Amino acid sequence: MRVTASPAMGDVDNDGRLEVIVDLGGWDSPDVVCAINGEDGSILWQNTEDVSSDFGVTPVLGDVNGDGEIEAVFYSSLTGYLYVLSASNGTLLNKKYVRKAWFNSEYGGLSLGDINGDGDMEIFLLISDYWEDLSMVYTFEGSDLSVLWVFTMDEDRRNHMDLNTRLAVSDIDGDGLLEVVAFTADYYIYAINAEDGSLLWRIDLAEIAAPKEIYRENSTITESTDVIVGDFNFDGIKEVITATTDNFNLYVLCLSGLNGSLLWYRILPDIKAVTGMAVADLDNDGLFEVVLATWTNWYCVLNLEDGSLLWYNYIGRDYGRYILTSTPSIGDVDGDEYLEIIINPFVIDEKNGSILAFLGYYTTWTSAVVADVDGDGKIEVIAMGGNESGNYLYCFDFPDAGFRVYWEAASGDFSFHRTNSLEFVDPDMDFLSTYTENVVGTNPYSSDTDRDGFSDYEELLVYHTDPNTYNLRWYHYALFVLIGLVPTVLIIIKRRRKGI
């Protein structure tokens, strides 16, 4: 039984603990959307009537109607409907017919963002129709699902795109407004102004200005997947990271968010389509790396400042006929204060790519999410899997795990909105994610919450002090000593003047 839906996490019932929202349906079984209590796996609610799909659907979570509660948003390419369910009790709040799209992404092309700053989330949906070579980006008002704008890609391109594509939502040009970045089935990357659907820029990846080896003579791009946005080189300008293949090599591209110009590229020979990417500082050098998982079972890490290869590795037949089909998550699974890579069903060492744990022999096309679901201060790994008897949600406990989570696959981001953007994952760029900062109580928008001159990251992982409590530096103590000596010095001076 094939499972294609990935879980999402959020405190949907306001009890201070995380729940898991998941569709336990699959390719050949009915949809069962449910909320599961993270601490013990008991069912909070389930809905078996309102959502229908071919492969199971992956939710994105957020307050889309401004009621102060979390909703779960789904899109089904089978029915063509966009669904909004109450995440607290599973009731259907709203649905809207958009269009059917065979082989469209069930999880990648759906995201949330606040366009106008009113606190209500708008819904972004990318539909890439495999058979019609059609790509469209829709934006809906979250409160009533009315259409705000539709961006249609009308190019008649060379052949079908074989893989699903994703959105990223971020302010990529620094104008204070959100843009939507979409890698679509017509081989373009589009940057679209989210407020009105106008085009900021577009880049034809088949004709990009680069050395001739991108791409082979007479070849065409056949597959595309992920796109990630962030200021990865700390120059104040967002970059767009994406990857594609021509069925011979894998091409990883870094584009300027301002205009889409090529900043660097990396060719990985004989490695094909990427199934997902994740970003983190894996080697604790103060710089970002990107993790790529591929359909051909290679996975690798590149330095994001220049695209240089840090390491690569391969999943062999020792683990059966697995195909890496999930997006990586990043978290400290073994408690060594470094961030490990979770590509369902494997936990991978961040230093060299060796496999630290194998989560089990089950069929999965889904991504794992990572969080502390039982309140013990240590993260767990939550993953979907299936076998001949049905689909299952697994929670794996790692006794030595740390508390840090950085990049979340699919819907696991603690901000719930699946933006594929560093702007929301780590807004203060201190290598502590929004999830982690919420856990430890620091300000995700300030790299030094207590303003003591030590960054939150340094206090947590270098000095092991409380980042919420002002810590004195050596010169503070020296100043106190000097201040304390002033009266004594003045007395000595006065006595000497009097000849005492």
Across 430-450, average pLDDT: 93
pLDDT class for 301, splitting at 50, 70, 90?
A: very high
| Beta pairing partners, 255 | 240, 262
Least confident of 71-85, 137-151, 155-169: 155-169
For the cut 70, the answer to whether the pLDDT of residue 164 exceeds it is no
Q: What is the end-to-end Cα distance of the chain in Å, rounded?
A: 97
For the cut 90, the answer to whether the pLDDT of residue 416 exceeds it is no
Residue-level pLDDT at 269? 81
Residue-level pLDDT at 106? 41
Please name the amino acid found at residue 475.
Answer: Y
Tell me if the pTM is above 0.85.
yes
Q: What is the CA radius of gyration of the chain?
A: 24
For the cut 70, the answer to whether the pLDDT of residue 428 exceeds it is yes
Residue-level pLDDT at 162? 45
For the cut 60, the answer to whether the pLDDT of residue 324 exceeds it is yes
Residue-level pLDDT at 56? 72
Across 212-228, average pLDDT: 57
pLDDT class for 270, splitting at 50, 70, 90?
A: confident
Cβ neighbourhood burial of 1 (10 Å; 0-12, 13-18, 19+): middle
Q: To which residue do tokens 């102004």 refer? A: 193
For the cut 70, the answer to whether the pLDDT of residue 160 exceeds it is no
| 114 close to 120: Cβ distance less than 8 angstroms | yes
Kindly state the tokens that stand for 475.
Answer: 């010169």
| 491 close to 484: Cβ distance less than 8 angstroms | no
Residue-level pLDDT at 409? 65
Least confident of 128-142, 155-169, 391-405: 155-169
Across 410-415, average pLDDT: 56
Query: What is the percentage of the chain residues whose pLDDT exceeds 70?
Result: 78
Least confident of 218-227, 268-277, 372-381, 457-466: 218-227
Please name the helix (run of DSSP H) or strand (run of DSSP E) that holds residue 397, with its range, or none. strand 390-397
Residue 89 sits at the vertex; the CA angle it makes with 51 and 62, to the nearest 5 degrees, is 75
Residue-level pLDDT at 167? 85
Per-residue pLDDT tens over the stretch 113-141: 999 887 788 999 988 766 666 678 999 99
Least confident of 187-191, 280-284, 338-342, 396-400: 187-191
Residue-level pLDDT at 427? 93
For the cut 60, the answer to whether the pLDDT of residue 19 exceeds it is yes
Per-residue pLDDT tens over the stretch 169-188: 999 999 999 999 987 666 67
pLDDT class for 256, splitting at 50, 70, 90?
A: very high
For the cut 70, the answer to whether the pLDDT of residue 190 exceeds it is yes
Residue-level pLDDT at 107? 42
For the cut 70, the answer to whether the pLDDT of residue 1 exceeds it is no
Top pLDDT among 232 and 5 is at 232
For the cut 70, the answer to whether the pLDDT of residue 361 exceeds it is no
| Alpha carbons 38 and 36: distance in angstroms, whole number | 6
Across 303-325, average pLDDT: 84
pLDDT class for 327, splitting at 50, 70, 90?
A: confident
For the cut 90, the answer to whether the pLDDT of residue 436 exceeds it is yes
Give the start-end residues of each E strand in 246-368.
Answer: 249-256, 262-269, 274-280, 289-294, 298-303, 309-314, 329-331, 340-343, 346-348, 355-358
For the cut 70, the answer to whether the pLDDT of residue 423 exceeds it is yes
For the cut 60, the answer to whether the pLDDT of residue 215 exceeds it is no
Top pLDDT among 415 and 125 is at 125
| 25 close to 37: Cβ distance less than 8 angstroms | no
Residue-level pLDDT at 179? 96
Residue-level pLDDT at 165? 66
Sort strands 298-303 and 309-314 into parallel, antiparallel or unpaired.
antiparallel
| 149 close to 92: Cβ distance less than 8 angstroms | no
pLDDT class for 23, splitting at 50, 70, 90?
A: confident
For the cut 50, the answer to whether the pLDDT of residue 143 exceeds it is yes
Across 302-326, average pLDDT: 84
Least confident of 60-69, 138-147, 293-302, 478-487: 478-487
Q: Which residues contact 328 (CB under 8 A, 6 or more apart)?
A: 276, 277, 278, 291, 293, 299, 341, 342, 343, 367, 407, 409
Strand order in the sheet with 346-348: 329-331, 340-343, 346-348, 355-358
Number of Cβ atoms within 10 Å of the Cβ of 489: 10
For the cut 60, the answer to whether the pLDDT of residue 298 exceeds it is yes
For the cut 80, the answer to whether the pLDDT of residue 277 exceeds it is yes
Mean residue pLDDT across the chain: 83
Across 371-394, average pLDDT: 86
- How is 200-215 classified by DSSP, letter by letter? EEEEETTS-SS-TTSS
Looking at domain 2-425, its CATH class is mainly beta
Nearest to 289 by CA among 316, 261, 319, 266: 266
Strand order in the sheet with 390-397: 369-371, 380-387, 390-397
| 273 close to 294: Cβ distance less than 8 angstroms | yes
Nearest to 407 by CA among 395, 397, 415: 415
